[in-house]
Structure 1
Amino acid sequence: MNVHFQGQEQSLQDILKCRDMRVQYQQCLLEKYQNIVICYKLNIPGAVKYNFLIKKIFDEGLQVFKDKLDRNSLVILEEKSIYKNSGPEYFGAFNIPAYLMKKITTNIEDTHALGRLYDFDVLSGKGEQISRQELGKEPRKCLLCESNAFECGRARRHQVGELIAKIESMAKEYFR
């Protein structure tokens, strides 16, 4: 594996614990604001979820997102970024229609050079996740082939090393 993907490996228990903490924080924001909540993270395969390259990719996506918010004059009610070994995360609460926010985030995921790595979850004020399909969008495609990403991942059609090599290639191309 390339030097860019070295870092502290995370166990399944580490990942599940962080997912539970993420859900708890989302619930706190939903209760506090009763408005939409965004959770942004990355789609990174394998056991290493945080290192310099991953942080750089994450920060780029966060900046693109914030630039879109500024261009659309959208106000952030509350936000928080967390950088940890289980992967960087951003949380934000907003007072705008959930479908408008999902359009903004899926546009970033679909058009940015690194967008396939970005994962923006949009929760309505009632805590319901807004899906791409609700906007008439296709499911996300695999990094390596044109198949449905979820199905590819579940079937483990590709080696983690192949996926990481693709991510490194994408990042190298983008940041050069």
Structure 2
Amino acid sequence: MDFCQLLAERERRWNTRLSLAGLYNCPVLSLTLNIPGPDKNLPGADAALCQLRAALCAAVDGAGGKVVDEVRLSGPDGPAWLAAVRMDALALKQLAVAVEESHALGRLADADVMDAQGQPLNREHLAALASADAAARNGGAVQGRAPRQCFLCSRPASLCRREGRHSLEDLLAAVRQMLGLASENAGQEHTCLP
């Protein structure tokens, strides 16, 4: 994969997110896949993205939000889905994290949220919100959300990555197993329409 092409694709995705936020004056949800290694377009990646997209759409709909526009992208960095969503940005981020943590393919999901002003929200924003809520309720300390877990062990993924704890081959074997599950279930997801 050409590094310049990869950077150009990521910039295009970022600019599309900014454009959607500006056009609709609402938060933007971005879904990509966590696939280690240079090949982000492994067999089953499109099926996984579609199933995770359907889960996010169902969560948005269930919370009273509305997907008002969506864009599907693909390239050397893998498949991506971007959606302008009418709902509170922090509530949207909470839904995205819930899907990442509860869906069978959730570990593959990288669901990011940008507010209507183009500012990214992350898990620390949710931890700060939870701490403020807990302080208002009982003044007690609240732990933030746990960091993303490694594909292979119960440790934080960032720590395993930094320490080089697992080989790329072992990580890809776990990812391919999840993508195989996605391929088996392809076509069973429901659509969300803007």
Q: TM-score range by the shorter chain?
A: 0.7 to 0.9
Please show how residues 6-155 of structure 1 align to structure 2 within 5 Å: 10-136=1-127, 137-155=145-163
Deviation for aligned residue 1:74: 1.9
Deviation at residue 83 of structure 1 after TM alignment: 2.8
Distance in 2 separating the partners of 1:110 and 1:101: 14
The alpha-carbon deviation at position 112 of structure 1 amounts to 0.9
- Say which SS state the counterpart of residue 56 (structure 1) adopts: helix
Aligned-pair RMSD on alpha carbons? 1.9
Q: Tell me the matched-pair count.
A: 167
Deviations 1:96-134 (A, max 9, x none): 111110111111000111101000000111222111122
Deviations 1:86-105 (A, max 9, x none): 21111111221111101111
List runs of 5+ in structure 2 lacking aligned partners: 128-144, 186-194
- 2: CA distance, partners of 1:134 / 1:169: 32
Q: Is 2:31–2:112's contact at 8 Å kept on the other side of the alignment? A: yes
Counterpart residue number, 1:159: 167
CA distance in structure 2 between the aligned counterparts of 1:34 and 1:71, rounded to whole angstroms: 21
Kindly, what percent of the aligned residue pairs are identical? Answer: 27
Q: List, as ranges, runs of 4+ consecutive aligned residues in structure 1 with deviation greater than 4 Å.
A: none
Distance 2:151 2:158 in 1: 11
Q: Which runs of 5+ in 1 are unaligned?
A: 1-9
